[in-house]
Amino acid sequence: MLYEHPATAVRPREQDTAGGATAVAHPNIALIKYWGKRDERLFLPRTPSLSLTLDIFPTTTRVELAPGAGQDEVTFNGVPATGEALRRISAFLDLVRERAGSGERAVVDTRNTVPTGAGLASSASGFAALAVAAASAYGLGYDATALSRLARRGSGSASRSLFGGFAQWNAGVDTGSDEEADLSSHAEPVPAADLDPALVIAVVNAGPKDVSSRTAMRRTVDTSPLYEPWAASSLDDLTVMRSALLRGDLASVGEIAERNALGMHATMLAARPAVRYLAPASLTVLDAVLQLRRDGVLAYATMDAGPNVKVLCRRADAEQVAEAVRAAAQGGAVHIAGPGPGARLLDEAG
Ligand code: PMV
């Protein structure tokens, strides 16, 4: 049986609520990682990536046009944004305004339920929700593919949160034309058999990271002698994982995800200077995952730009995995996630 992707209920143009709109998006965790850009301005990745959208930690964002205002006003969980965070969101809104032919500033209210900046994909749910709400508020009338392309310009991984379940972000073509590259680099749903997957998330440290993923990626691509071999192997990992997903072969999906993530961290460790996101407690959790496998439980780890570890397993084993990981996570919180829906607009009533 093929896994049914929850519908992405993005409304067509005529129903766009020009003026103000609210959207919700969930984070996604990459099983084949995005690590490295080939074009920093257009956010074009070096390699395609593949992720699972989660059903926990949603971001809800309201964008309201503010006629006559001199600048955008942004709040995160009720706290006014300043500095780099405000600049990033304003630059993203500039792109939306340029496409809409509008000069109107906006009031943006974002509610995040995930710790920001801790390698838990808050930028993915954040820019996916912002893209959907802003495109609607400015009346762009985009479909899910166009919204995925737009979200990519805020944060590459956000392109995948437009879709529920498993999604692949295509690197896009290289014909020498910026327009063709931009048009072809978006996410799309990935067919999968019913794997009944869960991701157990061990929060080793919920604080913000020292080095942003943007800086770390750039340094890795520019200086790491391991980068090119990893990028080449990642293409193979993607092909093999897609057929494992179709077969419903969770053990293969997990093995490929774990080696792809460890390879990505190896590229960073070999960067000059090295970027190291993993903490001692991350390795203790990796040991617990190995022990689970020795005990016959299908459990595989993946890590992003932070010390937290996400463990792919069967839903039926998730409680057992969570217990093993909790003991290793040295007091950190442990969450269980399943496959979640794509980003969508909320009705004014709800
Ligand atoms: O798009 P960003 O800047 O959040 O980069 C995400 C990079 C990783 O989380 C490490 C990998 C991925 O594909 O999500």
DSSP letters spanning 122-160: HHHHHHHHHHHHHHHHTT----HHHHHHHHHTT-GGGGG
The reported pLDDT for the residue numbered 185 is 98
Q: How far apart are CA 77 and CA 81, in angstroms?
A: 10
| CB contact burial 227-238 (16+ within 10 A = b; e otherwise) | beebbeebeebb
Band of the pLDDT at 54, cuts 50, 70, 90?
very high
The CATH architecture to which 197-337 belongs is 2-Layer Sandwich (3.30)
The minimum-distance atom of ligand 1 relative to the CA of 305 is 10
Tell me the CA–centroid distance for residue 66 and ligand 1, in Å: 32
Residue type, 26: H
pLDDT tier at 119, thresholds 50, 70, 90? low
Ligand 1 atom 9: the closest Cα is on which residue? Answer: 304
Distance 1 CA to ligand 1 centre (A): 30
Asked whether 218 and 45 are in contact (CB, 8 A), the reply is no
CA of 36 to the centre of ligand 1 (A): 9
Whether the per-residue pLDDT at 198 is higher than 50: the answer is yes
pLDDT score recorded for residue 269: 98
Q: What is the pLDDT of residue 1?
A: 36
Report the interhelical angle of 213-223 vs 250-269 (nearest 10°). 80
Calculate mean pLDDT across residues 62-76: 96
The domain limits of the chain are: 2-193, 197-337
Answer yes or no: is the C-beta of 213 below 6 A from any ligand 1 atom: yes
What is the model's pLDDT at position 2? 41
Task: List pLDDT tens digits, range 214-232.
Answer: 999 999 999 999 999 999 9
Nearest protein Cα to ligand 1, atom 8: 304
Left, alpha or beta for 49 (phi > 0: left; psi -120 to 50: alpha)? beta
Copy the structure tokens of residue 99: 């496409």
Phi-psi region of 78 (alpha: psi -120 to 50; beta: other; left: phi over 0): left
Position 205 scores a pLDDT of 80
Please indicate whether residue 47, judged by its CB atom, sits closer than 6 Å to ligand 1. no
**Bond before 273 cis per omega within 30 degrees:** yes
Q: How large is the average pLDDT for residues 245-264?
A: 98
Ligand 1 atom nearest residue 158's Cα? 1
**Cα–ligand 1 centroid distance for 120 (angstroms):** 9
Mean pLDDT over 265-287 rounds to 97
110 lines ligand 1 (CB under 6 A): no
Is there an atom of ligand 1 within 6 Å of 123 CB?
A: yes
**CA-213 nearest atom, ligand 1:** 3
For residue 187, the number of C-alpha atoms closer than 13 Å in the C-beta half-sphere is 38
CATH architecture of 2-193: 2-Layer Sandwich (3.30)
Cα pseudo-dihedral 254, 259, 260, 262, rounded to 10: 120
Region of poorest pLDDT, from 37-41, 211-215, 247-251: 211-215
Please, which residues bridge with residue 54 across strands? 339
DSSP 234-299: HHHHHHHHHHHHHHT-HHHHHHHHHHHHHHHHHHHHTSSS------HHHHHHHHHHHHHHHTT--E
Expressed in angstroms and rounded, the spacing between residue 114 Cα and the centre of ligand 1 is 15
214 lines ligand 1 (CB under 6 A): yes
Ligand 1 atom, smallest distance to 29 CA: 14
- SS3 for 167? strand
pLDDT, position 349: 53
Q: Are 50 and 31 in contact, with CB atoms under 8 Å apart?
A: yes
pLDDT of 168 > 70? The answer is yes
pLDDT value of residue 330: 82
Supply the pLDDT for residue 17. 52
Give tens-digit pLDDT for 286-341: 999 999 999 999 999 999 999 999 999 999 999 999 999 999 988 889 999 999 99
Per residue in 1-50, pLDDT (tens digit) is: 343 334 344 444 444 456 899 999 999 999 999 999 999 999 999 999 99
User: What is the residue-averaged pLDDT of the chain?
Assistant: 92
> Of 15-19, 131-135, 174-178, 296-300, where does mean pLDDT reach its minimum?
15-19
* Portion of the chain with pLDDT greater than 90, in percent: 87
